[in-house]
Amino acid sequence: MKDVIQKFIQEIVSKAGLDNMPDDFKKEYSDKLAAEAERRLGIMALAELDENSIKDFEKFMADKKSPKQSELMEFFDSHITGFSDKVTQTLEKFAKEYIEGVQNLKGKKLV
């Protein structure tokens, strides 16, 4: 999943026209965008769980302590109908908001 998010971030940075920024800035900025994408995916996934799945998730987290991202994705995929489609929709919504925000800021002076 981390590869999917990194590829997604590279695409939206490019679509927003920010891919010509210095590499160190782009790396730090991409890391922040990836964290936001992961946060949004987590919120979406938790909101999709029903009461029984929430109990399963609590047990899963208690058993795993610090699960790998792949383990989390497997859990959500097995507990949320159409999970991969919902991941795609969540990322597409984030991309749209991000690109529109960048376009709105271009040419404006930041105070």
How far is residue 13's CA from residue 99's CA, in Å, rounded to a whole number?
A: 8
pLDDT, one tens digit per residue, over 70-111 is 899 999 999 999 999 999 999 999 999 998 888 887 766 555
pLDDT, one tens digit per residue, over 28-58 is 889 999 999 999 999 999 999 999 999 999 9
Written as six digits, the tokens of 102 are: 């960048």
How far is residue 96's CA from residue 109's CA, in Å, rounded to a whole number?
A: 22
Task: Compare 57 and 19 and report the one with higher pLDDT.
Answer: 57
Place 1 in a pLDDT band, splitting at 50, 70 and 90: low
Question: How confident is the model over 1-18, as a mean pLDDT?
Answer: 84
Residue 85 has a pLDDT of 96
Residue 87 has a pLDDT of 94
User: Which residue reads 């302590």 in tokens?
Assistant: 65
The widest CA-to-CA distance across the chain, in whole angstroms, is 51
Residue 109 has a pLDDT of 59
Residue 25 has a pLDDT of 85
